[in-house]
Structure 1
Amino acid sequence: MKKSISLLLLSLLMIAPSCQKTKEAVNEYNIVPKPNQILPQEGRFELNSKVSLVIPANAPEVKGIADSLAERLKQTAGISLKEAESADGKSAICFVVQEGMPKEGYKLSVTPSLITLTASQPNGFFYGVQTLYQLLPPAVYGNQLDKKANWSVPAVEIEDSPRFVHRGLMLDVCRHYVPIDYIYKFIDLLAMNKMNVFHWHLTDDQGWRIEIKKYPKLTEIGSKREKTLVDYYYVNYPQVFDGKEHGGYYTQEQIKDVVAYAASKYINVVPEIEMPGHALAALAAYPELSCDSTQTYKVSPTWGVFEQVFCPSETTFKFFEGVMDEVIELFPSEYIHIGGDECPKTAWKNSAFCQQLIRQLGLKDDTTPSKTDGIKHSKEDKLQSYFVTRMEKYLNGKGRNIIGWDEILEGGLAPNATVMSWRGVEGGMNAAKAGHNAIMTPNPYVYLDYYQEEPEIAPTTIGGYNTLKKTYSYNPVPDDADELAKKHIIGIQGNIWREYMQTSERTDYQAFPRAMAIAETAWTQNANKDWKNFCERMVTEFERLEVMNTKPCLNFFDVNVNTHADENAPLMVMLESFYPNAEIRYTTDGSEPNKASTLYEKPFALEGNIDLKAVAFKDGKMLGKVAHKPLYGNLLTGKPYTVNYKMGWTGDIFDENDVLGADKTTFGLTNGKRGNNASYTPWCSFGIVEGKDLEFIVNLDKPTQISKIIFGSLFNPAMRILPAGGVAVEVSADGKQYTPVAEKALKHDYPETGRIAFTDSIEFEPTQATFLKVKIKNGGTLRNGVNFEKNNGPEVIPAELWIDEIEAY
């Protein structure tokens, strides 16, 4: 399978103009991220063994960068550059130091006879070389000699420097250990796209992955778990496990080598040591760090947020001081990430020690909302602030600063802390307005564990839906942001949480190509970004990924199916391929599309039920796989509606057209797309109160004949969901007086646990209606701790209703 995927991608990429052999190469500038100033020129610089390499004297770091370029060209092109003191009128690549340029900025001038790379600092030279690589054939990223490639560089004038100083990716190695070889490849991929931060998430509930010599049990015990969850977290209760031990950690020698390698690529490695939550792996090794050392703690085999957290005791602080002493020796980074997210306060509320400490510190519950985030915080929230501030002072004393997730805002922010904003954008904006630096990493855009293509065909992951287009659309600092935000938002980062990424290939698939969209947002000024142009450049980027043995998501070559309805307009079917200038061919009868099938030219109205299949072509060749999406055009399609419950999960309304919040008019229950077993993304959820059925009302605008209702509901007791227990239909001429026309009890055969989508219907004599009301009963009750994971709620609860789609015929 691996081989077939590789061959498929190579065949797709051969369609690209840059791969076609022509007598005279057309100048292309497929650079990712896009340079902020680029002026194409005519002609090309031919690389051969007559070319000289001119390096400034007394600049050993610059010489190292130039030598790495020479070594790569020798390895991949078989070209040996000759070092010289000056170009002397001959073909040459010259490295020139010019004071006063931005630290990471560079200028690249390419003429048919001379390449000049100018910068002030080694960082700038390094990024200039990355741009030069991307002007060369993708083979330059390989390890084999390729004499057939066109080893020339298009003439160009580039002046470039980054938008943000922090341009990063976070890699979680705790949920699943990552082999050390992949860490090096990951760093290479960061460097290729001018990212400068590798955030290494090293400790969590599921594993402690860094050797600490003072506390050997952290790796002897804390790096291993006895088993791992199978399937999605909420599919089964009790949960199902694989029965296999999972473990691994990085020795201090390995870490030193990784840090040195990253530094050679001008990448700063920021370690993350979680506190005060996400503590189970450490507590399994040293239970005295908890609020109840009589308990037995185990490294967690499953995911989630756990109440067992570090106790803010002197024992714990001494432990962390010892850990940080060794971390500081391993990582020269100015910043140490201390986590701070998802820390339940239950253990602290129940701890006599913590409550005494709260009184001793004079901490009290807020009586008015905080000026920073507008929330009233508890005294336990403020105890977390005390914890974080104390560790910050210790690290400040060692010459380091801290970064924490946006929860460190709660209860008061540590004085010099930088906030990493993940729960949307508010945390980062609030921190910036309070004068703190912030790094934007909002999950609706840059969480790379989210789905990026149709969940029905994608590997199981955490949920959500962030397409490449949606990720690219994010702007960390809007043009109308206030001056404090513009000053203090210092960067952007993508996060790769690996609960469902058991292998390196799965990590590749989730991270790429969306990481390239993040890289461009981080480097390129927003005014210079252009989605269509990005896609044009990405065709060659996929070639580079193939050469680097990276297995990205290939949705770029497929067709995405969306629906959209403007106000008082029919529901339209929208087809899109990210591949530039692709032809989309489609069928609506379930047959396989080919190059003679109907050409998609513009959105078309959904009329009746169709079995849509679509595929993208370029120059007569099929690019990707066939997209398949049955769509259900009916009397309700595209119409707004009201419900008598607040929706929790709102269906895929906010992901329509791949830009967050762009489409407010297409509603999850009437968008022509039915829910499925694969994920929660398309469903609309309702927390039902006993004795109150869900009521769904639609204004049909005119008297309309109706004789049948179809709707879907979900079975998933581990998520507190049962399928509908009954349905009733009422009609009205004025929206005030409703007449019942049909009612039906529903029964479903289902197992003890799992996730199944059911489709139900109710038929009745043809009836005229201007207003339609569909009343849906929930499927009964569920038992706390029997049908779903035990919590502090009632022993028996009404099951939630998750509905999609509601159709009328």
Structure 2
Amino acid sequence: MSLRRSVFLAAAATLLAACAHSPDKPAAVAKAGADSVTLDSIVPLPARVQPAAKPATVRVDAATPLQACGEPAQAAAQYFVELLARTRQWNLVSGCVDKPADGIRFVLDAAATTADEGYSLSVQAGVIDVRARSEAGLFYGAVSLWQLISARDDAAVELQAGRIDDAPRYVWRGLMLDSARHYQPPAFIEKLIDAMALHKLNTLHWHLTDDQGWRIEIKKYPRLTEVGAWRVPPGPAAAKDIDAATGKPRLYGGFYTQDEIRHLVAYAAQRHITIVPEIDMPGHAQAAIAAYPKLGTGDKPKVSVDWGVHTYLLNVDESTFEFIDGVLDEVVDLFPSTYIHIGGDEAAKDRWAASKSVQAKRRKLGLADDAALQSWFVHRLEQSLERHGRKLIGWDEILEGGKLPESASVMSWRGTKGAIDAARAGHDVVLSPSPDLYINNLQSDAPDEPPGRYDAVVTLEKLYGFEPTPAELDAQQARHVLGAQANLWVEHIRTTERVEHAVFPRLAALAEVDWSPRERRDWNGFLQRLPAQLRRYRSLGIDYADSAFAVRAAVQTDAQAADAVTVTLANQTGFGSIRYTRDGSTPQADSPAYTAPLQLPLGTTLQATAFAGSQALGKPLQLSLDASTLRRRSSGELKPCRDNGLVLRLEDDAPLQGLRKFYSVDIFDACWIWPQAPLAGAREIAIDVGSIPYNFQLWHDIKHVKRRKPATAQGELEIRRGSCEGKPWLRLPLKPALGNPTTTTLRATLPEGLAAQDLCFVFTRPDTRTLWTIDAVQL
């Protein structure tokens, strides 16, 4: 939650609609009373909660006895103790006696009627009994009990008497982490695994290879990491960063040694999480081909610094399959998972089509086209994995070109159609459709939301509303749905802090989608349980996003009162009570409550925060209501010029160390509109512009890119009035900005007598290597 919250000058009606409900405290707290915790105060929501017939509570504090007999029960109890020590600073001591007294008991019971990953949790007569017939179930029971106790910060917690009978809805409850585009240290992977376990997720899909990096050590082929794990970042700043040891630009990247991977696999297994590796084939293979060019079709590429769809594919020679077998030999030795993910997506076949040897092989095999050749390729991979006793899973493109091997499973990312087709054909499926479960998409349209895809905002509510089992499947076909998985692609998410921002708290929503019965899921109930989860994040050092709760402001001027404005406040979910101050101080839970738009004089410094009870749900909005603020717009507050573009929030390439600016820009058409810009009385326009590398491989989408012819060799920023068509009203040369690694302010004097009207901003470009973008516009 390190992001500064700034004003978002949006339509007031939109913000008012978000204020449909604003409970002052979570319903679970209100229902249970101030001194007790209900048994449904858990994320994900348990399958069944039965309160005791006669209301009662059981008290738990730092001196509560804890009993666990046998190694599995002791392991679950120890994990529970460690969680309480980290989040409550309690140091419970576990033991094992024949006739335990009142307190907490962990019991692994082979005769328990719980499901494979299920557990029961009973609270009655001074005893809290956690019981399961599997180690995984007992572990999840321990997590649930920890959540109940950590729902409050009191010295002692009163749990309402009753019983939980819980088990997951799906067997695949997953998160995909892309470590190929940006390497994350092993310690961070451990932290993510810990957090997954506390959400009862059980599958980490680890994307380890791609065009931009090969991250897994393969001893038989050392150049995969010696060459394929490293690249020089794009842009002039990186090109000038010379490594003294080599005299060349400093390399960026990294890889995981086999010892590190074995440790992470074991670490995850202790938390009942399976790591499923992905080795992407035949596409997304440029890093591998850079290391061993004979794997390709003739060219010798470098490890890519571009994002998008590349055309380098593995060839179909027998020597390439020998290479693949050698890689898989070591992969299956490192990862004991049932499934190995082989990718299979976005295999742009231009180079296959142009290769005489590939086409000769296709004809020899009697295959009609290159789609059929990829299907044949997938069959070869399936045969190799079958020899190792493993199963193949791949993205939904593996359904194309021919019949899929019977044992193969499909991960559907291009919507749900792939899952529907595969399940109807008898294949197991995992749902991970874009954009619904792509958490590299921004989670709000706020201007300070950090980099990611902006063309499809995936809010917390949108993700929570996803249903993994498509309605088109009948009961028999639905049995093939293994579960759902959120995917985090990190092209534009460079740091681990931003990974956390993208993942949390959306991981909590995914957990409920995957675990809780469909009929039990309730958005409002989830919101009411979330504040306690956010407190747990803080105690565990998880840097989550407050996007769902951060207060935003719509500011309207009044022609009749030039020295005052009307401010409408709201947050994305409408949850919480908004408290505000007018003197620049930080709002507290007892600050004035926002109930209606505020009439405020210019010069006011407004702050506002949403609260659930006494808990702040996010960082405060800080807004200086002065003429300068009202006449300023960032790139994230400006409107893209077209509806069918590809809007990204992109980070600058400089400075190499420390914080960087980020910009919202349509990479198909770098064009922005300021609707009804307040030009009346303005004497100057100042525009902060930046330049970043245009490092995108757009394949067939290149036809959508619009280039404007420059009037000078360096290019210009053009401003039009009323629309984006016609001749420029103002033309600002880009020459002063050339060579500046950060932002440059371009200025122009405005004529008198202007009235409010739309302004359109576009750049002309003399080349395709640079993407010019707006940082902010000030009138």
Do Structure 1 and Structure 2 share a fold, with TM-score over 0.5? yes
Partner of 2:169 in structure 1?
Answer: 163
Residue correspondence of structure 1 range 44-443 to structure 2 within 5 A: 44-47=58-61, 51=65, 53-55=67-69, 60-69=71-80, 76-87=89-100, 90-95=102-107, 96-137=109-150, 149-150=155-156, 153-225=159-231, 227-229=232-234, 243-292=249-298, 295-364=299-368, 379-412=369-402, 414-415=404-405, 416-443=407-434
**Whole-Å Cα distance in 2 between the matches of residues 103 and 621 of structure 1?**
37
CA contact (8 A) 1:341 1:406 kept: yes
| Alpha-carbon spacing, 1:81–1:786, altered in 2? closer, same or farther (3 Å) | closer
**Whole-Å Cα distance in 2 between the matches of residues 593 and 763 of structure 1?**
40
Quick one: which amino acid aligns to residue 35 of structure 2? Answer: A
Question: Per-residue deviation at 1:69?
Answer: 3.7
- Show CA shifts across 1:715-771 (max 9, x none): 9995645576756789xxxxxxxxx9x9975534445699999999999999xxxxx
| Alpha-carbon spacing, 1:526–1:385, altered in 2? closer, same or farther (3 Å) | same
Helix, strand or coil at the partner of 2:435: helix
- Show CA shifts across 1:430-474 (max 9, x none): 322333222111232222222223452133334342222222222
| Alpha-carbon spacing, 1:687–1:208, altered in 2? closer, same or farther (3 Å) | closer
Partner of 1:32 in structure 2?
Answer: 43
CA contact (8 A) 1:585 1:617 kept: no
| Alpha-carbon spacing, 1:787–1:303, altered in 2? closer, same or farther (3 Å) | closer
CA contact (8 A) 2:84 2:146 kept: no
CA contact (8 A) 1:577 1:616 kept: no
CA contact (8 A) 1:117 1:128 kept: yes
Residue 508 in structure 1 maps to residue 520 in structure 2:
no
When structure 1 is superposed on structure 2, of 35-44 and 336-345 the one drifting more is 35-44
Residue 543 in structure 1 maps to residue 557 in structure 2:
no
CA contact (8 A) 1:341 1:407 kept: yes
Match of 2:577 among 579, 582, 591: 582
CA contact (8 A) 2:278 2:340 kept: yes
Helix, strand or coil at the partner of 1:218: helix
Quick one: which amino acid aligns to residue 610 of structure 2? Answer: A
- Show CA shifts across 1:762-790 (max 9, x none): 99999xxxxx9x9x9996976675667xx
Residue 648 in structure 1 maps to residue 644 in structure 2:
yes
Structure with more relative contact order (C-alpha pairs < 8 Å, separation 6 or more): 2
Partner of 1:372 in structure 2?
Answer: none
| Alpha-carbon spacing, 1:93–1:542, altered in 2? closer, same or farther (3 Å) | same
**Whole-Å Cα distance in 2 between the matches of residues 404 and 204 of structure 1?**
14
CA contact (8 A) 2:81 2:91 kept: no
Question: Per-residue deviation at 1:288?
Answer: 1.0
Question: Per-residue deviation at 1:539?
Answer: 1.1
**Whole-Å Cα distance in 2 between the matches of residues 183 and 196 of structure 1?**
14
Question: Per-residue deviation at 1:33?
Answer: 0.8
**Whole-Å Cα distance in 2 between the matches of residues 417 and 16 of structure 1?**
45
* Runs of 5+ consecutive residues of structure 2 not aligned to the other structure: 6-23, 243-248, 556-566, 631-639, 649-660, 673-684, 695-704, 709-716
- Show CA shifts across 1:241-298 (max 9, x none): 9943223222222211211121111111101111111112211221111111xx3332
**Whole-Å Cα distance in 2 between the matches of residues 528 and 716 of structure 1?**
49
Quick one: which amino acid aligns to residue 424 of structure 2? Answer: K
| Alpha-carbon spacing, 1:214–1:602, altered in 2? closer, same or farther (3 Å) | same
When structure 1 is superposed on structure 2, of 127-136 and 246-255 the one drifting more is 246-255
CA contact (8 A) 2:106 2:138 kept: no
**Whole-Å Cα distance in 1 between the matches of residues 624 and 442 of structure 2?**
17
Quick one: which amino acid aligns to residue 304 of structure 2? Answer: S
**Whole-Å Cα distance in 2 between the matches of residues 329 and 743 of structure 1?**
65
CA contact (8 A) 2:579 2:587 kept: no
Helix, strand or coil at the partner of 1:649: coil
Helix, strand or coil at the partner of 2:479: helix
**Whole-Å Cα distance in 2 between the matches of residues 170 and 402 of structure 1?**
16
Quick one: which amino acid aligns to residue 65 of structure 2? Answer: V
Quick one: which amino acid aligns to residue 37 of structure 2? Answer: N
Helix, strand or coil at the partner of 1:135: helix
Partner of 1:624 in structure 2?
Answer: 619
* Runs of 5+ consecutive residues of structure 1 not aligned to the other structure: 6-13, 140-145, 231-235, 365-378, 564-571, 634-642, 653-676, 689-693, 695-710, 731-739, 767-771, 789-798
- Show CA shifts across 1:676-724 (max 9, x none): x96558x798799xxxxx9xxxxxxxxxxxxxxxx99999995645576
**Whole-Å Cα distance in 2 between the matches of residues 555 and 520 of structure 1?**
19
Residue correspondence of structure 1 range 652-663 to structure 2 within 5 A: none
CA contact (8 A) 2:732 2:747 kept: no
Residue correspondence of structure 1 range 628-639 to structure 2 within 5 A: none
Helix, strand or coil at the partner of 2:149: coil
Helix, strand or coil at the partner of 1:339: coil
**Whole-Å Cα distance in 2 between the matches of residues 218 and 158 of structure 1?**
50
**Whole-Å Cα distance in 1 between the matches of residues 471 and 597 of structure 2?**
31
CA contact (8 A) 1:237 1:787 kept: no
Partner of 1:795 in structure 2?
Answer: none
**Whole-Å Cα distance in 1 between the matches of residues 744 and 436 of structure 2?**
29
Helix, strand or coil at the partner of 2:452: coil
| Alpha-carbon spacing, 1:329–1:83, altered in 2? closer, same or farther (3 Å) | same
- Show CA shifts across 1:317-361 (max 9, x none): 110101111111111111001111122111101100111112112
**Whole-Å Cα distance in 1 between the matches of residues 328 and 611 of structure 2?**
55
CA contact (8 A) 1:201 1:271 kept: yes
Residue correspondence of structure 1 range 677-696 to structure 2 within 5 A: 679-680=663-664
The percentage of counterpart residues that share the same residue type is 32
When structure 1 is superposed on structure 2, of 152-161 and 387-396 the one drifting more is 152-161
Residue 451 in structure 1 maps to residue 442 in structure 2:
yes
Q: Alpha carbon RMSD of aligned pairs, Å?
A: 5.1
When structure 1 is superposed on structure 2, of 745-754 and 419-428 the one drifting more is 745-754
CA contact (8 A) 1:45 1:155 kept: no
**TM-score when normalising by structure 1:** 0.70
**Whole-Å Cα distance in 2 between the matches of residues 261 and 344 of structure 1?**
37
Quick one: which amino acid aligns to residue 264 of structure 1? Answer: Q
Quick one: which amino acid aligns to residue 341 of structure 2? Answer: H
Quick one: which amino acid aligns to residue 620 of structure 2? Answer: K
